[in-house]
Amino acid sequence: MARVVGERVKKGILERLNSGEVVIGDGSFVFTLEKRGYVKAGLWTPEASVEYPEAVRQLHMEYLRAGSNVMQTFTFFGGKDKLESKWKDVNEASCDLAREVAEKGNALVAGGISQTSLYKSHKNKLEIKEIFQQQLEIFTRKNVDFLIAEYFEYCEEAVWAVEVLKESGKPVATTMCIGPEGDMHNLTPGECAIRLVKAGASIVGVNCRFGPTISLATVKLMKEGLEASGLKAHLMVQSLGFHTPDCGKGGFVDLPQYPFGLEPRVATRWDIQKYAREAYNLGVRYIGGCCGFEPYHIRAIAEELAPERGFLPDASEKHDSWGSGLSMHTKPWVRARAQKEYWKNLLPASGRPYFPSLSKPDGLRMPEK
C-alpha cells in the first residue's frame, strides 16, 4: 500500500469526520517527556515547550511520522492556575511548535485545555472560565484549527470549558477522564455526553485514566446515551497505553504502580491494533491515545485502519505488516514468527514469575484537599 507523499489540501476536523474519514490523534506527552527527562512527575506541567523546545518538537515529529492527523498543543495543565507567570509564554510556544510540525504533513493543530486545580476546592465558575478564556485567547491569536477540552473528571467543569471554547466559532472536542461508573458526581457517561453535546461540543469521548478496553466500554455508554436522547456527535477515544482491568472508579492514578512502576502494563502494538479495530467497529472515528501511548502505538492504529484509510503512515517504511519483516531473520524459529496469526494470538510473558498480574487500587477515594 502506498504511503502519502507530497502536499495535500487540508480539510478541517469536522469536514473529515462528517465525510466518514478516520482521524488519528496523537499519544502521550507529559508521561513520555517525563521518561525522557523534560517533565516533572506530580506537577505534569508543559514548561518544556519553552525550556526544551527541541524535545517537544521531536515528539510531535514522531507522532506525525507514525500517522497522527492532529498535533495537539502541549498545553496540558497549562492554565495560569498551574503555571502562574509562565502560562503565556508556554502556551504561545506550544502553539508555534504544534503548527510548525503540522505544516510538515496532513495534520491539524488542536488547542488543548484541561481540568483546573480550582474546581475541586471552590468551584468558582467565573475564575475557572477565566483560565480557559486566557488560553483560548492565545489559541485564537495563533489560529489553531480546532479545540480540545480534555481530562475532565467533573462534567460540570467540562461543560464550562465547552461554553468558553465554543465562543471562538471553532469546532470543539471534549473528552472526560472517566470510566463506565461515570464522573465524580456520579453522572453516567451517557448523561455526561448529552450535557457536553448540548453545551456545544461536536466531538465527545474519553481520554486517559483507563486502558483500551475500559475506555471503549465508556465511549459505548456515551454513544448509547446520545442515541437514546436523539443527539448526534462524533465519538473520540484517547486511551492509556497501559492495561488497567483492576482499576477502580478513579482509574490508573489509584493503582499502587502509578506513575513509576507501570511498565509491565504497557500495551503491545498488537493490543493497540485490536483497540483501533474495536473503536472503528463501535463507530468511533477519532482514535488516539493518552499517557503511555507511544509513537509506535499510533503507528499501530494507522496500520490496522490502513485498509479503510487507503494508505500507510511514513513510519511503516520501517515496519512491515504483522511482523512480516522477520522473514529476513537468520534463525528459522524467528522467521516462523513472520505472520499475523502468531502475533495476533501471542500471550506476552511479563518475565516476573513472582509478581501478581493484577493489584488492588489504593484505599478508598479520599478527599483531595
The least CB distance from residue 289 to Zn ion, in Å, is 8
- Please tell me whether 208 is known to bind a ligand: yes
CA 263, distance to chain mean position in Å, is 18
Q: Which of 71, 138, 290, 298 binds Zn ion (CB under 5 A)?
A: 290
Does 247 show up as a binding residue in the annotation? no
Phi/psi-derived region of residue 222, left when phi > 0, alpha when psi is between -120 and 50, beta in every other case: alpha
In the complex, the smallest distance separating the C-beta of residue 238 from Zn ion, rounded to whole angstroms, is: 8
Task: Count the residues of the shown chain that bind Zn ion, applying the rule CB under 5 A.
Answer: 3
Phi, psi of 268 (to 5 degrees): -80, 170
Q: Which is nearer to Zn ion, 31 or 119 (CB)?
A: 31
Amino acid occupying residue 23:
V
Report the alpha-carbon angle 202-204-206, nearest 5.
Answer: 160
Q: Name which of 131 and 208 has its Cβ closer to Zn ion.
A: 208
Q: By C-beta, is 48 or 312 nearer to Zn ion?
A: 48
One of 48, 110, 199, 208 touching Zn ion (CB under 5 A): 208
Q: Which range of residues in 81-89, 114-122, 200-208, 335-343 is near Zn ion by CB under 5 A?
A: 200-208
Give the helix ranges, DSSP H, for 283-362: 295-304, 306-309, 332-335, 340-344
Should residue 291 be labelled a site residue for Zn ion when binding is judged by CB under 5 A?
Answer: yes
Name the pairing type of β-strands 286-289 and 23-24.
parallel
Q: Please tell me whether residue 255 binds Zn ion under the rule CB under 5 A.
A: no
Please choose, out of 18-26, 123-131, 286-294, 336-344, the segment that lies near Zn ion by the rule CB under 5 A. 286-294
CB 291 → Zn ion: shortest distance, Å? 3
The stretch near Zn ion (CB under 5 A) out of 85-93, 270-278, 291-299, 322-330 is 291-299
Contact segment (CB under 5 A) with Zn ion among 93-101, 161-169, 190-198, 204-212 equals 204-212
Q: Is 122 exposed, middle or buried (0-12, 13-18, 19+ CB in 10 A)?
A: exposed
Q: Tell me, rounded to whole angstroms, the distance of Cα 282 from its chain centroid.
A: 17
> Which of 93, 68, 59 shows the shortest CA–CA distance to 78?
93
Find the part of the chain contacting Zn ion (CB under 5 A) among 7-15, 60-68, 125-133, 205-213.
205-213
Provide, rounded to whole angstroms, the least separation between the CB of residue 255 and Zn ion: 14
What's the closest the beta carbon of residue 123 comes to Zn ion, in angstroms?
23
| Per-residue contact flags (x/-) with Zn ion for residues 151 to 190, judged by CB under 5 A | ----------------------------------------
Residue 89 main-chain phi, psi, to 5 deg: -60, -40
Strands 203-207 and 234-239: parallel
- Distance (Å, whole) CA 142 – CA 100: 12
Give how far Cα 121 sits from Cα of 75, 118, 125, 285, 368, Å. 22, 6, 12, 36, 9
**According to the binding rule CB under 5 A, does residue 267 interact with Zn ion?**
no
Binding-site residues, please?
Answer: 208, 290-291
Residue stretches of the annotated binding site for Zn(2+):
208, 290-291
List of residues contacting Zn ion (CB under 5 A): 208, 290-291
